[in-house]
């Protein structure tokens, strides 16, 4: 069975298992037939945002936009399986894709990659490393799951089994991350520090090590992600309305922040994002 068929079998199995399909910016940016995002087992949802699968095998580029998350990415070609860990970018990055390869990935929730890998998130910012240099979980088992139709069905079980042995402990920094996300990035960092209960310096150090960017940058990225969602919503809103909704000083402020992170203006994003975000784009998740 080819890698293309294996990943398709995985998608079909997940659908039969009634796994909820996620709609996110990634779905907007890629044809549904080429790219699928899938929720993990409920017991993993505090740690994993979603899995994504791209069985198309087409060449091109993947445009990664800042999202505050870290991905474990597998590239499958016939019986070969290679893997990398991609840290969150702080600006748009265009990553070349290899022709005739399928891709499978795990999007960890911000800060939750720490339960599965050795390096601090800070070491991965705007960077990628070969997965076996970073991951604590057995990559051999994951590779076998991707290359075996029966094994693919056990992928959730591999991660659950790993967590059951390690018993991850929640930390105060998780509450800080959730607070920023709940406010869509529109919150004073001083308020987050006060909730955290330690000095500003200690908070910033722990946040940077856990999430890979500063709390202020994470808030900016979170607001950017919500801006992109509103820009591509079914009900089109004026740019001035979106700027006010997300508490930007004005529309120009929103446009400057957006272009710095996405590489294009909000108007260009809404009018022509398909032209530069090609058929495998998986850089955000619906919270």
- What residues does each domain of the chain span? 1-287
Determine how many CB atoms are found less than 10 A away from the CB of residue 54: 22
Task: Report which DSSP code applies to 21.
Answer: B
pLDDT at residue 119, rounded to an integer: 78
Q: What is the dihedral of CA 128, 129, 135, 139, to 10 degrees?
A: 110
Kindly indicate the confidence band of residue 52, based on its pLDDT and cuts at 50, 70 and 90. Answer: confident
User: In terms of pLDDT, which residue wins out, 69 or 23?
Assistant: 69
Q: What pLDDT is recorded for position 144? A: 60
Mean pLDDT computed over 16-43: 52
Class of the 1-287 domain? mainly alpha
Coil, helix or strand at residue 103: strand
User: Does the structure show a pLDDT above 70 at 160?
Assistant: yes
pTM over 0.85: no
223 Cβ neighbours under 8 A, 6+ residues apart: 184, 185, 186, 246, 257
Q: Are 101 and 4 in contact (CB under 8 A)?
A: no
Predicted local confidence at residue 162, as pLDDT: 82
Please say if the pLDDT value at position 142 is more than 60. Answer: yes
Torsion of CA 114, 117, 119, 120, to 10 degrees: -10
The yes-or-no verdict on residue 197 having pLDDT over 70 is: yes
Q: What is the pLDDT of residue 2?
A: 44
Rounded distance between C-alpha atoms, residue 54 and residue 95, angstroms: 15
The pLDDT value recorded for residue 109 is 95
Minimal CA–CA distance to 66: which of 36, 86, 93, 89? 89
């Amino acid at each position: 069975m080819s890698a293309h068929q294996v990943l398709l079998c995985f998608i079909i199995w997940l659908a039969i298992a009634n796994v909820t399909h996620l709609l996110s910016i990634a779905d907007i940016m890629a044809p549904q037939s080429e790219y699928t995002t899938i929720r993990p087992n409920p017991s993993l949802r505090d740690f994993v945002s979603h899995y994504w699968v791209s069985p198309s095998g087409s060449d091109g580029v993947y445009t990664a936009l800042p999202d505050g998350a870290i991905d474990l990415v597998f590239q499958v070609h016939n019986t070969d399986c290679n893997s990398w860990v991609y840290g969150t970018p702080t600006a748009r990055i265009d990553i070349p894709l290899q022709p005739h390869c399928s891709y499978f990935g795990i999007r960890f929730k911000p800060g939750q990659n720490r339960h599965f890998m050795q390096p601090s998130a800070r070491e991965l910012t705007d960077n990628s490393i070969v997965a076996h240099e970073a991951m604590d979980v057995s990559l051999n088992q994951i590779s076998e799951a991707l290359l075996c139709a029966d094994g693919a069905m056990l992928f959730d079980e591999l991660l659950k089994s790993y967590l059951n042995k390690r018993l991850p402990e929640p930390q105060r920094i998780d509450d800080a991350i959730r607070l920023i996300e709940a406010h869509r990035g529109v919150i004073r960092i001083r308020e987050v520090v006060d909730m955290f209960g330690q000095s500003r310096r200690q908070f910033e150090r722990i946040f940077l090590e856990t999430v890979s960017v500063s709390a202020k940058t994470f808030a900016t990225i979170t607001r950017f992600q919500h801006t992109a969602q509103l820009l591509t919503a079914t009900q089109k809103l004026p740019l001035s309305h979106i700027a006010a909704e997300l508490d930007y000083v004005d529309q120009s402020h929103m446009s400057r922040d957006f272009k710095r992170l996405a590489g294009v203006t909000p108007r260009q994003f809404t009018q022509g994002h398909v032209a530069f975000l090609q058929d495998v784009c998986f850089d955000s998740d619906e919270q």
